[in-house]
Amino acid sequence: MIKATVNGKSAFSITQDSTITCNGQAVDWSAVEVPSGDYSIIMDGNSYQAQVLKVDKESKTVTLQIDQQQYEVAIEEPIDQLLASMGIKDAMAKKVNDIKAPMPGLVLKVLVTPGQVIHKGDPVLILEAMKMENVFKAASDAVVKEIKVAERTAVEKGEVLIVLE
């Protein structure tokens, strides 16, 4: 069984054996991808146009637009439900790690400040090592808690450069 929560409010339990059921009711539906990349859906005799706006595999959410109305659908697979029942719902979530020096080098520039919200892929620090400039980027969304190094200082391998929360 898969649980789907729409816009953070409406919850649905979906099962698929020989037929598809939603909250215990059989659902008669079909979907076909049209040349534009959108989907044509027929459900219980009604026709809908759907467009996938965003898929976030990490948070298991899909943002859809159906007939000019936008919906965010959060999916809980059986493993997610099992972990939640055991009280370890966020066990599959990525832990925010501090940024450490992978090798000895010289901090050229710190690109963030304490308290700053950073997003996955944002540049946070430039380290010169082996005559090359290495730009460190955020591995996930986080908040900069503390900067442990100053610009133009040498660091050792494994040294914590920036503490994240």
Q: DSSP labels for 53-119?
A: EEEETTTTEEEEEETTEEEEEEEE-HHHHHHHHTT-GGGGSPPP--EE-SS-EEEEEE---TT-EE-
Query: What tokens appear for 46 in the block?
Result: 């009604």
As for how many domains the chain has, the answer is: 2
Lowest mean pLDDT: which of 35-39, 89-93, 100-104? Answer: 89-93
Give the model's confidence band at 90: pLDDT under 50 very low, under 70 low, under 90 confident, else very high. Answer: low
Containing domain of residue 137, as a range? 99-164
Looking at the structure, do residues 19 and 76 belong to the same domain, yes or no? Answer: yes
Q: Which of 63, 92, 121 is the last residue of a domain?
A: 92
Give the model's confidence band at 110: pLDDT under 50 very low, under 70 low, under 90 confident, else very high. Answer: very high
Q: Report phi then psi at 37, rounded to 5.
A: 100, -10
Looking at the structure, do residues 50 and 114 belong to the same domain, yes or no? Answer: no
Q: Considering the chain, what is the average pLDDT of its residues?
A: 88
pLDDT tens per residue, range 126-138: 999 888 899 998 8
Looking at the structure, do residues 110 and 77 belong to the same domain, yes or no? Answer: no
Looking at the structure, do residues 123 and 68 belong to the same domain, yes or no? Answer: no
Q: How far apart are CA 49 and CA 127, in angstroms?
A: 50
